Amino acid sequence: IVSLDLAYGAVKQAQVLRLQKRIKNFQKLVRSVSATRKGGRFIFELNSKLLIFELEILDRDMESIWTIKLFLGLLAAWSLLYIAAEAGERQCYGLPAERQSPIDIETSATKCLWKLGRMYIPKYTCKDVHLVNDGGHTAQLELDKCDYTIQGGPLVGQYSVLQAHFHWGEESTRGSEHTLDGQRYPMEISYTDNRAWNDIIMGLGEITNPDEETILDNINLQKLLPRNRFKYYSYFGSLTTPPFSQIVKWTVFEETIKISEMQIAQFRTLL
């Protein structure tokens, strides 16, 4: 099963005034917004009375720091649905449970929107991709130097692709986070290897220990995703790791990627 979790995108100038009006209602909650720059990224931290919210966004997608501050404020407003004050106590109420990810996608309950169209993925090959063993929990592709952007489908504007990580299980009956009509996918099994994944599979042997990394020089993002990008499921949900912030727009492709049992076994050596 293939999914894209897109939490943050570029904010256009025309949206800024609308964001300003919405954020005024939350000014009393926010103590400060700080920003530090690391390489080509800004790291933003929102210090509110209820949480500390940290956000990492590519510099080139934003027109200025204050635009990002407004965008960050809107995200905080989304995460903090409302505050109730009774007898001097403050309570934070989260969003409804149906906004928490992952979910089981019931195809009979979905609504088809043909106007959304196809998602567009760049075709070119990137020669500076870091494959990282993320703490012994997953393998992660660092794509921030590839200048990949995706657009179309349910997305408004362009999104920069910073990284990709993989979910798999100890056996083929489990692995994916989302399920489709109750079925969980390991990555669909095929009797032949998927050549587009060969460089990644070979790289796994070089990151067998936590936090090790290697550089891949022949990664094409388009070949790692399904050919049919017209059919997908999209919904607003959350991160699936702490702090589980409900700020993610999920896109789950209907078509699965076929790789062999032998290739899946290479991923399992990292667990």
Residues labelled catalytic: 137
Contact of 238 with 248, CB cutoff 8 Å: yes
Dig out the tokens for 201 from the structure.
């599979």
Nearest 10 degrees: CA dihedral of 212, 150, 101, 117?
A: -150
Dig out the tokens for 51 from the structure.
């949480």
How distant, in Å, are the alpha carbons of 75, 86, 243 from that of 239?
Answer: 13, 30, 7
Contact of 180 with 188, CB cutoff 8 Å: no
| Other Cβ atoms within 10 Å of 28 Cβ, number | 10
The C-alpha angle 253, 257, 260, rounded to 5 degrees, equals 160
Beta bridge partners of 42: 37, 57
Q: How far apart are CA 71 and CA 63, in angstroms?
A: 12
Which 8-state DSSP code applies to residue 199? H
Beta bridge partners of 159: 150
